[in-house]
């Protein structure tokens, strides 16, 4: 049981500790809280919190430091909503706008998205002074195939080109063993369009495959197999995540990582890990925290993660987050992160909208439901 007053004390300790990075004494706390309470009373309460595992002592005659459990209680119940300042707003917006300008309005390709998110990471790490993480799927699973084409290089070399929604284009070159006559390749392209246009790569049905296979003449079986291979690869990409880290050096600013050994351990882990297994991905629009030993990975045991969801074009989801020592200003960072994620979403939405507004009549209508939002 934690009394209300104890919670207030815990909150004050954490707020103060986050600021000073030094163990909090009963005296400092009394001054900071400015209630009518004496240090002795606070010491008693602190002793209870210590007993319950919300605080710990570096050594007998030192102040108290929050434990991971303490931080957890803090983010769950105690922290105030942080109202981002005008400076925050402006910093985020100017950072995003700088990126937006570099995007040509009529064009949006995966490497460009990659570059954009790279820059966004950079901006985020500069903004928060922590190491920034962004995650996105390689391919947006909600985009349907608009068009498939086969570029014929020679009679055994073909490039499949798939144009998806929002101007995303993917291609892959295949080389056949047996030559394929030009006409047959063109026929196959037409067939692929007929059968697959309007479908999402992840949602191609066995029925469609069957139709393709049964309609295809003998000479293009190999080419069709290549096409199916390509589409399968595309559909895999929907589940592959791109992860980017920026501002690793920021960690070295914090007293927690003055020990080079600690810093190296974490930096190595972050550098090696292409996987997102250690990253909590929030399923709602709220920010998620993973504090200290809540992390399974050893190098993260003394670190915290804050991650926000960031809806990208057409129902796809990206994530932005930060890593740092457990002693971080959770409410402020959560607010900034959330604001940043929203800004990024809006910005990408703008681009997509621009691309989708004048959807032509001769392409199949989108099957997806639009979210009910006011048009821009």
List CB contacts of 196: < 8 A, sequence separation 6 or more.
145, 148, 204, 208, 231
To its own copies, the closest distance from the beta carbon of 11 in angstroms equals 31
Question: Per rule CB under 8 A, is residue 258 in the interface with its own copies?
Answer: yes
Question: Per rule CB under 8 A, is residue 101 in the interface with its own copies?
Answer: no
Q: Where are the beta strands (DSSP E) in 165-287?
A: 169-175, 241-246
143: its two tokens: 């985009």
Q: What is the DSSP letter of 347?
A: H
* Interface of this chain with its own copies, residues 170 to 199, rule: CB under 8 A: 171-175
Select the residue interacting with its own copies from 56, 88, 149, 222 (CB under 8 A): 149
To its own copies, the closest distance from the beta carbon of 211 in angstroms equals 23
136: its two tokens: 């996105």
Question: Per rule CB under 8 A, is residue 360 in the interface with its own copies?
Answer: yes
123: its two tokens: 């901006």
Question: Per rule CB under 8 A, is residue 200 in the interface with its own copies?
Answer: no
Tracing tokens 């925290």 back to the chain, one arrives at 289
List CB contacts of 218: < 8 A, sequence separation 6 or more.
none
Q: Give the interface size with its own copies as a residue count (CB under 8 A).
A: 46
State the binding partner of 252 from DNA, its own copies, none, CB within 5 to 8 A by kind: its own copies
The span of 9-17, 260-268, 311-319, 321-329 binding its own copies (CB under 8 A) equals 260-268
* Interface of this chain with DNA, residues 13 to 72, rule: CB under 7 A: 23-28, 36-41, 43-44, 46-47, 50, 57-64
Question: Per rule CB under 8 A, is residue 169 in the interface with its own copies?
Answer: yes
Q: How far is CA 105 from CA 101, 173, 321, 322, in A?
A: 9, 28, 27, 30
The residue (of 14 and 238) whose beta carbon lies closer to DNA is: 14
To its own copies, the closest distance from the beta carbon of 290 in angstroms equals 22
215: its two tokens: 């309609």
The span of 15-23, 246-254, 288-296, 336-344 binding its own copies (CB under 8 A) equals 246-254
To DNA, the closest distance from the beta carbon of 26 in angstroms equals 4
The residue (of 64 and 200) whose beta carbon lies closer to its own copies is: 200
Question: Per rule CB under 8 A, is residue 260 in the interface with its own copies?
Answer: yes
Residue 55: which of 19, 16, 100 has the closest Cα?
Answer: 16
Q: What is the rounded CA–CA span in Å between residue 241 and residue 138?
A: 6
What is the rounded radius of gyration, in angstroms, for the C-alpha atoms of the chain?
Answer: 27
Q: What is the DSSP letter of 23?
A: P
Do residues 161 and 150 touch, judged by C-beta distance below 8 A? yes
Let me know if 94 is exposed, middle or buried by CB neighbors in 10 A (0-12, 13-18, 19+): exposed
Name the site residues for DNA (rule: CB under 7 A): 23-28, 36-41, 43-44, 46-47, 50, 57-64
Footprint of its own copies on this chain (CB under 8 A)? 106-111, 146-147, 149, 151-157, 159, 161, 163, 167, 169, 171-175, 246-249, 252-253, 257-258, 260, 263-264, 267-268, 271, 355, 358, 360-363
């Amino acid at each position: 049981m934690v009394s209300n007053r104890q919670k207030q004390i815990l909150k004050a300790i954490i707020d103060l500790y986050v600021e000073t990075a030094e163990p909090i004494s009963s005296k400092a706390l009394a001054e900071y809280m400015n209630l009518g309470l004496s240090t002795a009373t606070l010491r008693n309460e602190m002793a209870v919190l210590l007993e319950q595992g919300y605080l710990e002592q570096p050594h007998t005659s030192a102040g108290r430091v929050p434990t991971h459990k303490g931080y957890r209680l803090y983010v769950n119940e105690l922290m105030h909503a942080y109202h981002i300042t005008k400076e925050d707003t402006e910093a985020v917006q100017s950072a995003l706008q700088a990126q937006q300008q570099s995007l040509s309005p009529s064009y949006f390709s995966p490497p460009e998205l990659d570059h954009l998110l790279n820059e966004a990471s950079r901006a985020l790490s500069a903004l928060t002074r922590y190491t920034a993480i962004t995650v996105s799927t390689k391919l947006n699973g909600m985009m349907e195939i608009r068009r498939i084409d086969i570029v014929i290089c020679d009679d055994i070399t073909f490039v499949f080109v798939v144009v998806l929604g929002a101007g995303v284009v993917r291609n892959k070159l295949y080389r056949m063993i047996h030559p394929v006559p030009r006409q047959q390749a063109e026929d196959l392209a037409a067939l692929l369009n007929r059968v697959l246009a309007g479908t999402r790569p992840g949602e191609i049905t066995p029925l469609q495959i069957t139709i393709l296979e049964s309609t295809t003449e003998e000479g293009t079986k190999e080419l069709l197999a290549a096409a199916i291979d390509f589409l399968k690869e595309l559909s895999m990409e929907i589940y592959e995540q791109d992860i980017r880290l920026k501002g690793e050096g920021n960690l070295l600013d914090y007293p927690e990582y003055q020990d080079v050994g600690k810093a190296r351990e974490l930096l190595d882990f972050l550098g090696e890990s292409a996987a997102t297994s250690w990253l909590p991905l929030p399923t709602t629009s709220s920010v998620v925290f993973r504090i200290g030993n809540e992390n399974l990975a050893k190098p993260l045991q003394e670190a915290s993660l804050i991650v926000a969801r960031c809806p990208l074009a057409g129902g796809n989801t990206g994530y932005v987050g930060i890593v740092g020592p457990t002693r971080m200003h959770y409410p402020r960072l959560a607010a900034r992160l959330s604001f940043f994620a929203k800004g990024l979403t809006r910005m990408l939405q703008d681009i997509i909208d621009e691309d989708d507004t004048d959807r032509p009549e001769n392409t199949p209508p989108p099957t997806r439901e639009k979210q009910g939002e006011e048009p821009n």
